[in-house]
Structure 1
Amino acid sequence: MATAAPQAFVPLRLDGRPVLHKAVAVLVGTLFLAVSSWISIPMIPVPMTMQTFAVLAIGALYGWRLGALTVLAWLGEAALGLPVLAEFKTLYAVWSTAGYLVGFVFAAALVGWLAERGWTAGRLALSALAMVLGHVVLFAFGVAWLAFLFGADIAVAKGLTPFLFGSVLKSALAVAALEAARRGRQAA
């Protein structure tokens, strides 16, 4: 007996909203990304920012189109010189991490696309896989760019390995936040 495919779970349901609602959502999303970028949690071997948590959450909450657009708007703010990136740096000060920043757009789009197909609709394993795949995408872009600049060994040693534990934590946090939102919507 086949089971029915899960319904999409994009909690903010912005697709059918007026343009003004979407514009406000993008603005709020860029603010959420900026604040998440400024949060630095001391960890070993590297501190953990909440940037990627915000990227994945925005994708899942907004859907793939508006999620990607929100990350692009945030990058646009950085390009204008606004201090929205980690450590209040401008876009021009982080050229070596440009691959990750590009990867953020694709990670938000992928997680949003998967959310629209029911991956975050109560099946925790699928939701976790969506978040992990989002991290895989952003690491693929980031590590590839670092490998181009500095070589593959350095890219993996400095741009991937130190961040894996934090990425697992942020994926789990994103799954928990989405599940709480889903249960809250059901209870309402």
Structure 2
Amino acid sequence: MSHTVTPSLAPAFSPLDISRRSLGWQAAAVVAGTAVLALASHIQVPMFPVPMTMQTLAVTLIGALYGWRLGAITVLAWLAEAWMGLPVTATGSIGTLLFVGPTAGYLISFPLVAAFCGLLAERGWNGNRPVLAFVNMTLGNALCLAIGGAWLGAQIGLEKAFLLGVAPFLLGGLLKSVIGAVTLMALVRGKAGTAR
């Protein structure tokens, strides 16, 4: 007697649908995600008063596209690569220095941000609902700034940390939230177009 597997009828929260793929495919997705995050870390866009990197855009998108578990695992793998000395971060710091310096709070927040955005995406705050996708991306950026700013505040004081480590990145975070939401929506529409 032959057995057939009936696919789940629930719509996928992500056009990549990674959670329903094999472990080998998921492992490849983690490697690809760390490569994307490494590349995004080295992309700088000139902005006033400080340049904007694409790190948090990559983190929020990885979470929203991979889901909370695989998103967090991917970002943790990227941090492990940095700790081992691979040039995958914007600062170029390696090893323990990554997790004790003034920017360590932002890096520590990244797996949490990916998990948070992934959890919201799995609950429908994804490319199928552009407004909620934008809110998802915005909350992810805000969480990163809150944790990073709190870490920095413990070292230099909260007021100075806000002025130096939060306020200059608010506009960039908003722009990255727009880009993230548009990307999620475009991926959903692209998949729908190819399925016809």
Q: Give CA deviations for 1:33-67 in whole Å, capped at 9, x if unaligned.
A: 00000001111100010000000110111011000
Q: 1:181 to 1:32 in 2, by over 3 A?
A: same
Match of 1:156 in 2: 162
Per-residue deviation at 1:109?
0.5
Q: Which amino acid aligns with 1:21?
A: W
Per-residue deviation at 1:16?
2.3
Structure 2: stretches of 5+ with no match in the other structure: 1-9
The percentage of counterpart residues that share the same residue type is: 49
- Residues 135 and 167 in structure 1, CA contact (< 8 A), matched pair in contact too: yes
CA distance in 2: counterparts of 1:92 and 1:171, whole angstroms: 30
Q: Give CA deviations for 1:121-142 in whole Å, capped at 9, x if unaligned.
A: 4222211110111012111210
Supply the RMSD in Å over aligned alpha carbons.
Answer: 1.5
What is the count of residue pairs matched by the alignment?
Answer: 183
Please say if 1:125 is aligned against 2:142.
no
User: When the two structures are superposed, what TM-score results if normalisation uses the length of structure 2?
Assistant: 0.89
Please say if 1:104 is aligned against 2:110.
yes
Within 5 Å, give how 1:73-112 maps onto structure 2.
73-94=77-98, 95-112=101-118
Q: Which amino acid aligns with 2:153?
A: A
Structure 1: stretches of 5+ with no match in the other structure: 1-5
Q: Give CA deviations for 1:40-98 in whole Å, capped at 9, x if unaligned.
A: 11111000100000001101110110000000000000110111000433254442111
Larger Rg: 2
Match of 1:173 in 2: 179
Q: Which amino acid aligns with 2:115?
A: A
* Pick aligned residue for 1:137 from 138, 143, 154: 143
Per-residue deviation at 1:154?
1.1
